[in-house]
Structure 1
Amino acid sequence: MAFSGFSKKTLPFLKKIAQNNNKEWFSTHKKEYEELILEPSRDFVVEMGEHLQALEPTIHAEPKINKSLYRIYRDSRRPNAIAMPIKERIGVIFWQGNGKRMQSSSFYLHFSPEELYVAVGVRWFEKPMLDAFREAIKNDEKRQELWNILTKIKSMGKDYTHLEKGYKRYPKGFSADMPHAELSLYKGMATYKTVDAHIIEDGELLIDTLYEIYEDMLPLQQFMYDVSLRVKQEG
């Protein structure tokens, strides 16, 4: 089925989840979840995936839970999982490469009643990806390349920004006198933008808006995909 947008009832339904965040309530409203969120999300992944594969042919666009779609239930191991077991925002990921989807360079989004968040890159590094990232930017030319990419994206005047630094001390191999050494202080490397969440209700506008953002941010996607190829496989 062609993607025509999410229902005008989708965002109000997410508000209801926030107000009734328990498994008992959700189990009695599961059909609404499937109709308002799950089914259109699958259609969206197919449609958006075809567009993104024009930018990066090897992008994974798989309309399944634990692939491009996320489980609606929070990880029970997280501290707030018992208090709020149901997710109040809906995420979608299109990743590149054969590694873990969250540790691969990706085109990502999530929406809630408050906003539509659109991002490119890797939002946080596990140790293998962190090591690969730091190893890549030890090279002066690669560090300058990344700096240029971030500067250009931010200078487009479209309210694009990137993640804030997460570390205070330079890691081994970096020092304050190295040009752009602060890049080594990041816990993830992604650019992002937030827009009005109601855009999800217009399928064509949503696809066109996302495509423009993702195309603008494509150089970072490509840079981080190259970094992911450096990851040393565990075991």
Structure 2
Amino acid sequence: MFKGIPKQTVSYLKALKANNNREWFEAHRKDYDDYFVEPALQLIEALSPVAAALDPPHFAIPKVNKSLRRIHRDTRFSKDKTPYHTHLHIVLWTGDHPNRSAGTHLVFSDNHFGYGSGHWAFSGDGLERFRAAVQDNKARAELDTALASAAKVDCTPGDPELQRVPRGFDADSPAADYLRRKGIVARTHNDPAYDKRLFGPEALDYLRDLLKALSPLNRWVNKHVETA
């Protein structure tokens, strides 16, 4: 039975944020194993049957670079050369690849716990299907309902990526806000504090409720965009 995320995980992330360099990381590799990798893999394993029972089924694979994202940053094209992410990122995905399909993300940071679902950016064909779907009254109502479910656990879309509706679309359409988006994601904002249930045996029930509330958005994406 999963007993919760150890509080030492948050302490480790705080220390890593203050010492984001290879020397410190190697000197504290046991803490990385004990308070980052091990509890994350245990949580993912505990969530696996929960994720599989969702609609749509989500994949929860307890491996690094599967459901547990790597702590190492890709700094090749970034001005920020700090080598490590200072959060613990878990992804439960619904398609053929965690980075190319709708999914639910759980992010444990040094001072907050964030989560959300959806698909960040659609492909060219996917974007066309998304724009067609949101202009359909029935499909758009389904999306509204999915986002209302996510809002019950404090997840909402951020600002649209585009300043105006793309050329050729009606700026006064009921779908105007959606048409200004390149993907659809509902997530937490403003760094929500940790819920104390995460640190004890209630963690699994707490996360199960979050996943159930967030899964309708992934279902909508798969129905109208990914598998259209």
Question: If the length of structure 2 is used for normalisation, what is the TM-score?
Answer: 0.87
- Give the total of aligned pairs: 225
2:85 is matched with 87
**Deviation of 1:117 (Å):** 0.5
Query: Match of 2:32, as an amino acid?
Result: Y
1:233 is matched with none
Distance 1:80 1:204 in 2: 41
Distance 1:147 1:43 in 2: 34
2:63 is matched with 64
The 3 A distance-change label for structure 1 pair 23 and 8 is: same
1:214 is matched with 211
The 3 A distance-change label for structure 1 pair 127 and 188 is: same
Q: How does 1:141-152 map to 2 (within 5 A)?
A: 141-151=138-148
Aligned equivalent of 2:220, options 204, 219, 223: 223
After the TM superposition, which of the residue ranges 103-112 and 208-217 deviates more from structure 2? Answer: 208-217
The 3 A distance-change label for structure 1 pair 15 and 153 is: closer
The 3 A distance-change label for structure 1 pair 113 and 200 is: farther
**Deviation of 1:25 (Å):** 1.4
Query: Match of 1:42, as an amino acid?
Result: L
Aligned to 1:162, the other structure's residue is in SS state: coil
Q: How does 1:20-59 map to 2 (within 5 A)?
A: 20-56=19-55, 58-59=57-58
Distance 1:169 1:58 in 2: 35
Question: If the length of structure 1 is used for normalisation, what is the TM-score?
Answer: 0.85
Aligned equivalent of 2:133, options 130, 133, 136: 136
Aligned to 2:162, the other structure's residue is in SS state: coil
Distance 1:80 1:207 in 2: 38
Distance 2:35 2:12 in 1: 8
Q: Is the 8 A contact 1:163 1:189 kept in 2?
A: no
Identity within the alignment, %: 30
Q: Is the 8 A contact 2:51 2:59 kept in 1?
A: no
Question: RMSD in angstroms over aligned alpha carbons?
Answer: 2.3
Distance 1:88 1:133 in 2: 33
Q: How does 1:71-220 map to 2 (within 5 A)?
A: 71-82=70-81, 84-98=82-96, 100-151=97-148, 153-154=150-151, 156=152, 158-193=153-188, 195-197=192-194, 199=196, 201-220=198-217
Give per-residue Cα distances to partners, 1:105-127, cap 9 Å, x unaligned. 11111011221101111234454
Listed as ranges, the gaps of 5+ residues in structure 1 are 231-235
Query: Match of 1:212, as an amino acid?
Result: D
The 3 A distance-change label for structure 1 pair 205 and 23 is: same
Give per-residue Cα distances to partners, 1:78-133, cap 9 Å, x unaligned. 41441x211111100000012x3123111111011221101111234454543442
**Deviation of 1:198 (Å):** 5.7
The 3 A distance-change label for structure 1 pair 88 and 198 is: farther
Distance 2:165 2:43 in 1: 41
**Deviation of 1:196 (Å):** 2.6
Distance 2:227 2:31 in 1: 41
